[in-house]
Amino acid sequence: MVQELLRSESGCENVECRACGKVGLTPILSLGETPLANRLLTDEQLSEPEPTWPLELAWCPGCALVQITETVPPETLFCDYAYFSSFSDTMVAHAKSIAKQLTEERELGEDSLVVEIASNDGYLLQWYRESGVPVLGIEPAQNIAKVASEQRGIPTISEFFGRELATQLASKCRRADIIHANNVLAHVADLNGVVAGFREMLKPSGVAVVECPYLKDLIDHVEFDTIYHEHLCYFSLTALDRLFRSHDLEIVHVEHLAIHGGSIRIHAMPTGAEPVRESVKSLLAEEAEWVDDAASYASFGQRVEHLRTELTELLRQLKADNKRVAVYGASAKGSTLLNYFGIGQDQIDYVVDRSTIKQGHYTPGTHLKIYDPGRLTEDQPDYCLLLTWNFAEEILAQQKKYRDQGGQFIIPIPEVKVA
């Protein structure tokens, strides 16, 4: 519905860019008032008022950073968290691969140090530790930091990373050969503080390895469901390059990855430490054709509306045909899709998720109960809407029995299809 799109700068004209500080952002899309995407509910909470916040996407004409305009306090979002990376085989394998690669390339050993920001349950650092490389995790969610420390033996500081913590650690000779930041920079309100912290904590030859969903993939593949309050920013290489250069760091290498629907992995080092590779120069040249042009973002919202119409019509028709539909994935992206598209208990019977932490809870806003994936083969709904579409290959393989028994998956992104 076109009326949902922001057509003027109302609400954005006084907003300050999170990276460059420019006042006045250009609106892209409004997703309305939504609950926190990872705030799963208990039985007791179902009867309580559920807080919501505006969810509006905008673009900075000063530095090209795409961002949401609302900042929910990080203590509200992350101090007790329901996402454990180790529940995804894909994520664990991805982490193992990069750890092995960097251990060899950077010749890491017992005198090295690898630090991860938002280290979750130790899914990445465990591979360095197995190779005899000292590690340090920094994870603000206390429940997850406890798992990393007690179950995996990963030394973990349960604090938010920024310039102050980096200075404290650097003063104790805790400078890093590698700082990992996987899917965390998008969550950071104080971008400048975190990037300054990288510079403070890196050794002169150290490298910050940062992964984040790639803005071009989000736009091209209509990945609007990656927009939620935890994801404050949506990065192009251009925006990252401008941000890092302002803190005496250079992006010397970039890789375009398939994970999470399309991501980039940058390698940033103190300025002059290594030559900037062709991978960076060529991608910056590609982005120069669109990244600073407001028209590049104009059709995105309209394509989201087309997707909403297509998916809700399919579910309406299935309901009319007395078909039963479940959901796979009590994910944050799933919360955005369900709430913005208005899909709830009228169309969906229940949700399944592999995470035992989520099972028994209810989805934000839509209040669908979450079960173990085994319920699919026991109950055999006709269709299952796959909201964790970024792990489609892994999940469809895991659910072979359900599919062999006649169950079908609906994959909503980048276009609605049945598998």
pLDDT digits (tens, 9 = 90+) for 255-289: 999 887 789 999 999 999 999 999 999 999 999 99
State the Cα angle at 39 between 35 and 45, rounded to 5°. Answer: 90
- The pLDDT, as a whole number, for residue 273 is 96
Q: Which two tokens stand for residue 339?
A: 């709430």
Tell me the residue type at 39: R
State residue 87's pLDDT score: 57
Listed in sequence order, the residues at least 6 apart from 347 whose beta carbon sits closer than 8 Å to its beta carbon are: 312, 315, 316, 318, 319, 325
| All residues at 6 or more sequence positions from 394 whose CB lies less than 8 Å from its CB, including other chains | 88, 89, 90
**Does pLDDT of 79 surpass 70?**
no
- C-alpha 170: how far from chain center: 28
Residue 220's pLDDT band, with cuts at 50, 70 and 90, is: very high
Q: Which are the contacts of 281, defined by CB distance < 8 A and separation ≥ 6? A: none
State the Cα–Cα distance between residues 66 and 6, nearest whole angstrom.
Answer: 15
pLDDT digits (tens, 9 = 90+) for 139-164: 988 888 888 888 889 999 999 999 99
Write the DSSP symbol of residue 390: G
How far, CA to CA in Å, does 69 sit from each of 5, 55, 216? 15, 7, 20
Q: Which of 7-16, 99-108, 323-332 has the lowest mean pLDDT?
A: 7-16
| Lowest-confidence segment of 139-153, 209-223, 270-284, 321-335 by average pLDDT | 139-153
User: What's residue 11's pLDDT?
Assistant: 63
Query: What does pTM read for this prediction?
Result: 0.85
Question: What strand order describes the sheet that includes 66-68?
Answer: 26-34, 53-59, 66-68, 233-234
pLDDT of residue 81: 53
Percent of the chain with pLDDT over 90: 79
Answer whether 274's CB lies under 8 Å from 257's CB: no
The rounded distance, in Å, linking the Cα atoms of 375 and 373 is: 5
Would you state the pLDDT for residue 137?
A: 95
Residue 227 near residue 55, CB atoms below 8 Å: yes
Q: Distances from the Cα of 262 to the Cαs of 217, 218, 257, in angstroms?
A: 6, 8, 6
pLDDT band at 80 (very low <50, low <70, confident <90, very high): low
